[in-house]
């Protein structure tokens, strides 16, 4: 086993592997190491009233509750907005407040963010207070429309604000100017959980809510924090950690029903289960059907009710996989015949806007370019999603084109959404390429980074316990990556329904290594007896209730 020879003596109290992994993450003293390795709720989760406008928003909501005003919750349709809506709905039900409704826009017909038709409908139902979740920060005209109808708007969001903010009653978004909260990277559900925590701090005792009850809502916060791929640093690390702990014990009928449908063991849930299993099924509701079905699942109060929606989401996700695969195939066939520019714009009038983000993510990886993919909604509007290759902020890119090119935009540096007119779509790629050189940034060279070199005998439970201390893994905290040199293959076999997944076995070791969707030709040439160098991460396989260590392949190089 090889370790970093430049380890800080301040870390000498830790096992050598832990010292190496800490040093690789820039942690060189024991105080920072303790802070990172052992998230502490009271220490790491800060006072919600430190967020700009929190007190103002709390005052307005309390006035609404006292006067029995109708409250409308307007949430985004993804696996951040929907759990966020569940959080606020659970809170209102907990204090026995009944005069509210939840509205989640249809991804394919309404698109992202507030819209005037929805606001009109909510106002007609008597709403005088509208609270957004995971959206609203760019909706200047829509908030003005709500104001004209006598509806106050509280925006809770985490997306990047534009130069002009909506004239809302209050805006809770730590990315706005003037907010000095210590962490401005919370996801949308975490922001609304902060709002609920503030309301309970102010009046929880008089409502008869047991102190600390809000921690049971962390299952939804953890789900969104991991699924929405915010950096798992600072407060987010604690929210993800405690969110997973609550998920493993949660009595939420919808969560239990969905977990059962996927043959998962609740007590074993880790971040990969959210990213690859739970999150996609929540998102399938809006991509393929009605987003309210995902809300109804997660807010269900009985197992019987939950079963119906869990079934529906599982079937929708299966259909989604097939559709996305055919869209990607069509897009790549078209792109392989044309000269590629710095930005790719591609779409089809028959493509569902709810699926184009998944296509964009695939194409970025395949072509190493920033990609804009569009489809057409049921009412004829062109809407799309974009993903950055790391060379540009897509929000900066979209805001730099001539006024009038886009009908609407929103998002983060890495990912965004847009709407565009039927005329402008034909020249969209030209407009984006024109401004790309002005707003591009130096693209970071992504090299295959290895934390340390191990042998197959080092893949043992003691070392796994060391690695596990660094979880939860995700954006900003990647899994430790290990190099295994000069190992001899005993067998290379493909498995799965379509035989697309690879499993490697090795001489003199019971450890297996796997790679899902191993389509690269270099893997197909591997045979027993080959000597290889392998880069892999370590993980626990709990399939069919067994518990064994295995490796997840990152790269394999066959030795000559």
CB 179 within 8 A of CB 52: yes
Q: What is the pLDDT at residue 9?
A: 55
CB 512 within 8 A of CB 491: no
Report domain extents, the chain.
1-37, 48-215, 338-439, 447-558
Give CA–CA dist 172/179, Å, rounded: 9
Q: Can you tell me which residue has the tokens 């030209």?
A: 430
Q: What is the pLDDT at residue 7?
A: 47
Q: In CATH, what number does 48-215 get? A: 3.90.1640.30
Torsion of CA 182, 184, 186, 188, to 10 degrees: 140
pTM, full prediction: 0.89
- Mean pLDDT per 10-residue segment, the chain (560 residues): 54 94 94 95 97 98 98 97 98 98 92 94 98 97 98 97 96 97 97 98 97 98 96 96 98 97 93 96 95 98 97 96 96 95 96 94 94 92 94 94 91 91 95 94 69 97 97 95 96 91 94 91 92 96 85 93
Helices 303-335 + 356-367 axis angle, to 10: 40
Q: What is the pLDDT at residue 118?
A: 98
CB 189 within 8 A of CB 223: yes
Hey, what CATH class is 338-439 in? Answer: alpha beta
Give ∠ CA 504-505-507 in degrees, rounded to 5: 140
Q: What is the pLDDT at residue 94?
A: 98
Q: What is the pLDDT at residue 447?
A: 62
Hey, what CATH class is 447-558 in? Answer: mainly beta
């Amino acid at each position: 086993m090889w370790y970093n020879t430049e380890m800080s003596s301040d870390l000498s109290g830790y096992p050598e592997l832990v010292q190496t992994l800490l040093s690789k993450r820039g942690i060189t003293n024991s105080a920072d190491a303790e802070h990172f390795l052992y998230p502490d709720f009271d220490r790491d989760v800060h006072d919600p009233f430190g967020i700009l406008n929190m007190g103002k928003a709390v005052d307005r909501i309390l006035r609404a509750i006292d006067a029995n005003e109708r409250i409308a919750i307007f949430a985004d349709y993804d696996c951040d907005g929907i759990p966020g809506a569940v959080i606020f709905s659970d809170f209102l039900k907990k204090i026995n407040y009944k005069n509210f409704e939840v509205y989640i826009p249809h991804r394919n017909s309404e698109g992202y963010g507030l819209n005037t038709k929805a606001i009109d409908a909510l106002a007609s139902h008597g709403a005088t207070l509208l609270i957004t979740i995971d959206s609203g920060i760019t909706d200047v005209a829509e908030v003005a429309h709500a104001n004209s109808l006598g509806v106050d708007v509280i925006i809770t969001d985490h997306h990047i604000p534009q130069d002009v903010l909506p004239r809302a009653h209050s805006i809770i978004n730590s990315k706005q100017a003037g907010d000095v909260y210590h962490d401005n990277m919370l996801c949308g559900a975490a922001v609304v959980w902060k709002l609920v925590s503030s309301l309970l701090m102010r009046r929880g005792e008089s409502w008869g809510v047991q102190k600390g009850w809000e921690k049971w809502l962390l299952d939804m916060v953890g789900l969104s924090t991991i699924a929405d791929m915010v950096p798992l640093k600072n407060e987010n690390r604690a929210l993800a950690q405690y969110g997973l702990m609550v998920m493993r014990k949660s009595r939420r009928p919808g969560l239990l029903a969905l977990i059962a449908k996927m043959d998962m063991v609740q007590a074993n849930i880790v971040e990969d289960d959210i990213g690859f299993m739970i999150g996609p099924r929540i998102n399938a509701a809006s991509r393929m059907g009605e987003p309210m079905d995902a809300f109804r699942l997660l807010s269900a109060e009985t197992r019987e009710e939950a079963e119906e929606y869990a079934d529906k989401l599982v079937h929708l996700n299966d259909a989604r996989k097939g559709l996305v695969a055919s869209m990607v195939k069509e897009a790549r066939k078209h792109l392989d015949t044309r000269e590629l520019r710095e930005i790719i714009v591609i779409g089809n009038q028959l493509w569902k806007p709810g699926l184009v983000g998944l296509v964009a993510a695939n194409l970025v990886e395949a072509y190493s370019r920033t990609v804009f993919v569009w489809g057409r909604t049921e009412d004829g509007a062109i809407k799309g999603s974009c993903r950055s290759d790391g060379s540009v902020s897509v929000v900066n890119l979209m805001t730099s084109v001539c006024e009038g090119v886009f009908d609407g935009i929103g998002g983060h540096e890495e990912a965004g959404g847009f709407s565009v007119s039927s005329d402008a779509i034909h020249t969209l790629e030209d407009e984006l390429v024109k401004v790309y050189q002005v707003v591009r940034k130096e693209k970071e060279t992504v090299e295959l980074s290895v934390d340390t070199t191990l042998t197959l005998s080092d893949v043992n439970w003691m070392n796994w316990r060391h690695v596990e201390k660094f979880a939860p893994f995700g954006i900003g905290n990647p899994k430790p990556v290990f190099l295994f040199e000069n190992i001899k293959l005993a067998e290379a076999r493909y498995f799965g329904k379509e035989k697309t997944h690879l499993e490697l076995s090795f001489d003199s070791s019971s450890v297996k290594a796997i790679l899902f969707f191993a389509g690269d030709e270099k893997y197909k040439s591997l045979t027993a007896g080959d000597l290889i160098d392998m880069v892999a991460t370590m993980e626990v396989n709990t399939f069919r209730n067994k518990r064994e260590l295995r490796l997840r392949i990152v790269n394999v190089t066959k030795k000559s």
